[in-house]
Structure 1
Amino acid sequence: MAPIIRLAIDSKGINRVERLCSIPAYVGERNTSFRYIVQHASLVTGIEAQVKDGLLRLKLPDERPDLPIWNTPSPPDLSSCITFFFFSSGHLFGTHFHYEQDSSAVTTYECFDKRRQKSIIWVYLPMPKNDRLLVLGVRHGLRSKTNILVRTRQIGDIIIGRHTTGEFRDICLAKSAPVTIVYNEPPEGYIVNYFGAYCRSPDRLELSTPFPLERCSPHPLGDESYFSWAPLDRVSSTLTFNDPKTDIAKV
């Protein structure tokens, strides 16, 4: 019997179950109507299939197996995945994950109207090969909207979003790998109003080590400032680019 199981999931539940001889190679195909689980049969033992009224669902055992869900029929190489977040006025308006050298976040950027495009800030989340997401959280501020908090094994702490001013509260969404990011894809022009995560963490999700805060007072560069930083160990030189239209520098 073929060792690989692939499930296709739509808005009503499991739409299709397939047996494959091997995990198919990723060819860049993505789907907006289906989500997929591709896993070796030996890793999904103890799962019960339940059918009622023409609908199929899975009943998982108490010790739930890892079932990563993809928007592509074949999983991509995670080391080649690149993540972008799109912010405007401190709000998260979209995310983009691409898996190929030829693909670009421009396709997501072009979904925003012309007025929004002028104020959109692109934020790139670096994930080196062999690194792992350990903690995912959010920082809610009364005046500074929302930051996304990321902690990885190799990079450490990353804060994505606008500079925080005033009072804020940090919320831990997940703190044990593997972490699945869950968010809604809003209609054009609307913010992402749900951003969460799933993992097999304990019931009490608390940050064992707080995320840093450089300063909570207004910054000389203004409240619209977005900061990034990286260690300079073994860095010999950098290239800096200046966008004449926005007067924003890029490194």
Structure 2
Amino acid sequence: MVVAVHYDCFRIFQAESASASFDGTKEDAGDVGGGTQDAKNAKITQDAQNSQVPQSDEHQTGDEVLERGQNGKPGGAHALLDWLWTVGAWRRPWPSAAKLRLEDAGPAAYGHAELAVFARMAAVAGLVQLTTLPLELAQIVYELSAHSLFWRAITVHCLCLRALWRRQQQQQQQLTEPLRLVPLAKILSWERGHALHVADSSSALSLSLLPPLIRITVDRVGICRIERRHEIAARPWNGATTTRLAFIVEDARILASLPFADIQGFPIWNLSLPPDPASCTLVGTTSFRRVLELRRPPPSQLYAVDVNRCFGLTFFYLSGRISGVHVHRTAKDDARKTYERLATRVKERMVWVFLPIGLDDRIVALWACQCDGSFNIVARMTLAGDVMIGRARKGSFRTMLLAQGDHIMFVYGEPFESKAVEILGAYSGKVQPREESHCITQSVVPAVPSAISTQFPDTYVSSAPLSDVKAVRVFTDKVKGICRGLLLWYGNGGVRALGECRICVDESLLVKSPAVICYRKLRYRAYRYASHDGVVVDAGGATQHHHAEDGWTCHEVGRGTLHFHFTTNRSFVMAYEQ
């Protein structure tokens, strides 16, 4: 095992390590620098002005700096390297552990130590003006360049300073004990930068009186907190999730009974209090059976989403399987970040299926549906009605009620690299009655209409009524010259999607109070040598109109149903049904 640190990052650490200090704690945003943003900005600017890289230390090797130690005295190299090696070796807590895609809070949540490092790094990089910006603007700069070497150098620098701080604490307290392993079942509490509290192992009674649950909190750096918790099964879920922390909550008896070599992993949630698996309906997307045991096989990270607190969900489909899910937390949140994480060799053939959720609309029921080997989802909304996500039906289908109620949490397992989503489900805090599990009619899971000529096996369906349409947004691929999808807003507040609606990715045109929706079929080159079906769409405000080209089909808004089907080979076909 090798702990790799970028040379430039470590070189800056060498130059600054003699004068830097690290308190081992990280304060919450808004509590740093006197409690005001101005005080924090002034502190950053002053640190940047006072930060100068000592010329005498600039060309020292890492071994020389480590041998010198924090106070300029020899010793400490082996302990520091041992600590850094352990950090690198335990980046993954068990074999084949899922890669956690946690976000960093950025400058807005920096503590005293991070602010000082931020100022010094900006001075070394010649970006002193960055430290003079208000933290709100510095946060915007961070979000636009989060993967740059500058921000990663701050993380590495803080890691090295934490190692020096730990060594200094040991020297002050005259501690010589090496790193040791402690069973999780015996840990009372621990927080990064603080002492470890362990239960009295000599008394079995004291261990039995401990709270039954162990919660492990993980941030982008690693495990940051371990604590004992009492079971809070009756506490209602308030919809709060996080993208910056992950949580593992397990029964201490399970952890105590497992030898280390047998640990294969535990479910990792974005909820501080995950639901009981027995009350959360999870289904395997391949087997179409309820998942009751989340520990075997090794699970992926489980994401919970309050479907009534987001603007919609984008599902990435390939061959009838869901390969990824993106949650649109704002109206302008695009799904490219999730799309880029998918397997490169196949993501070009994936289709984007968007499930919009109106501001005043609510999802009150979710079903899983298996049609000819394809895994589909049916959502029942109070305003938009029943909407199906997935491939067209060719034969019989099976359904399973996932959840129903006013507060539904959608759950999916983040897939491993190059894999499809294996677990999907929902939770409402209520026991789902079995008689409600087959209340989906065949009209909700449509087949390919006879008016649509495409017979491509991987065809995805979308339909929307044209009655009471108040606005329509047309998404156009300008390079190919075709329409990819439409969003329709209705008078009651509901929203329906047709085709591929790639929010903030494709160019779009909003037409309010449309009177007609017109489309024209064409053939276009989706790839270099292949020619496929395409469609051009135009929405206008007047029923009496004229098109310059032939072949247009026009339908008045107010009656009928519009079908928009699309395939993984980039064919787009529309049809109208009276």
After TM superposition, the score normalised by the length of structure 1 is 0.68
Does 1:227 pair with 2:467?
Answer: no
Whichever residue aligns with residue 207 of structure 1, its letter is S
Larger radius of gyration: 2
Aligned 1:154-173 pairs, distance under 5 A: 154-173=383-402
Whichever residue aligns with residue 445 of structure 2, its letter is L
Q: Distance in 1 between matches of 2:327 and 2:470?
A: 30
Q: Distance in 2 between matches of 1:195 and 1:213?
A: 19
CA contact (8 A) 2:306 2:408 kept: no
Structure with more helix by fraction: 2
Q: Distance in 1 between matches of 2:396 and 2:327?
A: 31
2:408 is matched with 179
1:70 is matched with 241
1:152 is matched with 381
CA contact (8 A) 1:137 1:173 kept: yes
CA contact (8 A) 1:89 1:119 kept: no
CA contact (8 A) 2:412 2:424 kept: yes
Aligned 1:79-228 pairs, distance under 5 A: 81-141=311-371, 143-205=372-434, 206-207=436-437, 209-211=439-441, 212-215=444-447, 220-222=453-455, 223-228=457-462
**Secondary structure of 1:70's aligned partner:** coil
Q: Distance in 2 between matches of 1:125 and 1:66?
A: 23
1:250 is matched with 485
* Closer, same or farther: CA 186–76 of 1 in aligned 2, 3 Å: closer
**Secondary structure of 1:85's aligned partner:** strand
For structure 1, the 5+ residue unaligned runs are 1-17, 19-30, 35-48
User: 1:117-161 CA distances to partner (integer Å, 9 max, x unpaired)?
Assistant: 2211111111101211111111112x2411011111111101001
Q: Size of the alignment, in residue pairs?
A: 206
Q: Tell me how far 1:194 sits from its aligned partner.
A: 0.3
Whichever residue aligns with residue 169 of structure 1, its letter is R
**Secondary structure of 1:166's aligned partner:** coil
What is the CA RMSD across the aligned residues, in angstroms? Answer: 3.5
Aligned 1:46-65 pairs, distance under 5 A: 50=211, 55-60=227-232, 63-65=234-236
* Closer, same or farther: CA 248–118 of 1 in aligned 2, 3 Å: farther
Q: Distance in 2 between matches of 1:207 and 1:77?
A: 20
Q: Distance in 2 between matches of 1:96 and 1:104?
A: 9
**Secondary structure of 1:110's aligned partner:** helix
Q: Distance in 2 between matches of 1:248 and 1:115?
A: 25
Q: Tell me how far 1:188 sits from its aligned partner.
A: 2.0
CA contact (8 A) 2:474 2:485 kept: yes
CA contact (8 A) 1:84 1:124 kept: yes
* Closer, same or farther: CA 77–123 of 1 in aligned 2, 3 Å: closer
More relative contact order in 1 or in 2 (CA 8 Å, sep 6+)?
Answer: 1
Q: Structure 1 vs Structure 2: percent identity of aligned residues?
A: 27
* Closer, same or farther: CA 133–168 of 1 in aligned 2, 3 Å: same
Q: Distance in 2 between matches of 1:138 and 1:162?
A: 13
For structure 2, the 5+ residue unaligned runs are 1-27, 29-99, 104-209, 215-225, 245-304, 487-578
